[in-house]
Amino acid sequence: MSSNNHFVALSECHFMNPESMEEMSYYPGYERWWKSIDGVMRAWGGGRDLAGGDAMPEPRAHALIEWMDKSDVDVCFCLRESMMDVADFTTCMSTNAFMIKEIEPYPERMYLECNCGPILRRGVDKAIWELEFLVENRNAKLCKVYAPEDGPLNDRRLWPFYEKACELDIALTVHTGMSYVCPQPSKFTHPDLLDDICLDFPDLKIIAYHMAWPHTEEVIGLAGKHRNLYLSLSGIIGWLARSPYRAYHTIGTALQWVSDDKLVMGLDLAFDDMPRVVDFVRNMEMPEELQEKWGYDPITEETKAKILGLNLAGLAKIDTTKRIKKAA
């Protein structure tokens, strides 16, 4: 029997500044990016057809809190959307400063998941300064590393940034798998690249977003190898929720390689997808036929509780002993 009383925490809740989006909209890269988003949302967004006119909630804090309440979600980690290459690196879709202002009215419901990139393009020293400032002065709880607009994850010039993250004891959320949008290449985010980082930084907590799809089994194996590598259902959970047997195989395989302490939830979807994906995990049961034929274990309420929020809360070092009262 499922429970709605589990603590629920979601990372990768993207906000966009409408003024910045307007400034970027005339660049040729913007249209290419938007068409890519349409393609991703057809799979991840439950068949959402943006080209056909399907709408999405405004990616702002006031809309997020509404869907958090509807979905019985306790906390979200909120992240700026960069995509600077869409506008030839002249501007971005939102900034850390914009995020801080947006989440300020909801201090116990929304936390900053900062993004200090593109790290190599802006300069590693500058990115390190901002990371340290945001952790020590703005309560950043996670830090996103988004390589598609920057360079390979295992570029040795990034090692000082990873060292600083270790020093600050902040978990890095890392885009892995392929790049889902134009004009960004996929070669910078293959899970192979995580192996070098995990070998050199065994104390650096790394959360692999999207379970590195379409290289999911590879990143599952790496998570079995490295105790500091965690697997996030961010984004891909939207697809898994509409393809349950794909979900059972993905999660069942992961739990054969790693403990249930290493799977976390994330969003990276339109906010109105939140009830659909959270309820899917709440109600998930491993079919007996797959237990018999594939050797998967049953999915217990304890495992669901860890995936839904306890694991991510532990990585971000936030309290889960009381549920947050929802906004009126």
The answer to whether 184 and 149 are in contact (CB under 8 A) is: yes
Give domain status of residue 19, yes or no.
yes
How many folded domains does the chain comprise?
1
- In angstroms and rounded to an integer, the radius of gyration of the C-alpha atoms of the chain is 19
Give domain status of residue 15, yes or no.
yes
CATH number of the domain enclosing 34? 3.20.20.140
pLDDT band at 54 (very low <50, low <70, confident <90, very high): confident
pLDDT in tens, 247-282: 999 999 999 999 999 999 999 999 999 999 999 999
- The b/e string for 126-146 (b: 16+ C-beta within 10 A; e otherwise) is ebbebbbebbeeeebbbbbbb
> How many Å apart are CA 195 and CA 223, to the nearest integer?
9
Give domain status of residue 93, yes or no.
yes
| Angle subtended by helix axes 216-225 and 192-200, to nearest 10 | 10
Cβ partners under 8 Å of residue 27, min gap 6:
86, 87, 88
Give domain status of residue 200, yes or no.
yes
pLDDT in tens, 171-215: 999 999 999 998 899 999 999 999 999 999 999 999 999 999 999
pLDDT band at 48 (very low <50, low <70, confident <90, very high): confident
**Average pLDDT of 150-171?**
98
Give domain status of residue 142, yes or no.
yes
Is the pTM for the entire model greater than 0.85? Answer: yes
- What sign has the CA pseudo-torsion 75, 116, 101, 107? positive
Give domain status of residue 168, yes or no.
yes
> How many Å apart are CA 32 and CA 53, to the nearest integer?
17
Residue 1 has what pLDDT? 47
Mean pLDDT of the residues in the chain: 94
pLDDT in tens, 89-142: 988 999 999 999 999 999 999 999 999 999 999 999 999 999 999 999 999 999
Residue 322 has what pLDDT? 52
Residue 47 has what pLDDT? 86
What residues does 110 pair with on adjacent strands?
76
pLDDT in tens, 291-328: 999 999 999 999 999 999 999 999 999 999 655 554 54
> By residue range, what is the domain housing residue 181?
9-316
Phi and psi of 250, rounded to 5°?
Answer: -65, -50
Give domain status of residue 325, yes or no.
no
